[in-house]
Amino acid sequence: MKWYLQVLKSYADFSGRSRRKEYWMFFLFNLLISIILSIIDIVLGLDNISFLGGTVFRNNGIIGSIYSLLVFIPSLAVGVRRLHDTNRSGWFLLLPFSPFLLFLISPFLGKIGFALLFMGYLTIIVFAIVLLVLLLTKSDEGSNDYGPNPKDEERSRMIHKDLLDN
């Protein structure tokens, strides 16, 4: 819970670095809260069910949607800081979204458009895997272009606290 609250306190801070633990604990709490809110939406009948071509889609309810909007900026910020921790630009976070240009133009290109659409889906999957690997990558040791290692800062705070307590 500490990590989740820490990310919320740094609501729109896109500078500096975030440890793997901070990112993934925020991700885990976000996932759990989203599941709980989805269940509440379903129980209260606030979810949205739509039909398209004989397929039933269950969309977020109002409570889950509001929560998603509230944590959108902190999620982006902690993702950018996590990439900074591996000495990479936060722009890598947009990597999986880059093929959407192919989706926009594919309907106008006929049969070639279908191939582009398929390539777009394939590219999204590959880029999502690349981003996942980057987010799982170990922190840079010591300082990097984006600041000091947050793990080192935490260790020094703990040592300082121990010295003050003794």
Where along the chain do its domains lie? 1-86
What average pLDDT does the chain have?
85
Q: Which residue has the higher pLDDT, 26 or 52?
A: 26
pLDDT of 56 over the 80 cut: no
Residues 42 and 64: their CA atoms lie apart, in Å, by 10
Closest by CA position to 74, among listed 136, 154, 18:
18
Span 71-96, pLDDT tens digits: 999 999 999 999 999 999 999 998 88
Q: Yes or no: say if 149 and 139 are a contact pair by the CB < 8 Å rule.
A: yes
Q: Tell me the C-alpha to C-alpha distance, in Å, between residue 7 and each of 1, 15, 71, 77.
A: 10, 13, 10, 8
How high is the pLDDT of residue 31? 95
Neighbour count for residue 161 (Cβ, 10 Å): 10
How high is the pLDDT of residue 162? 58
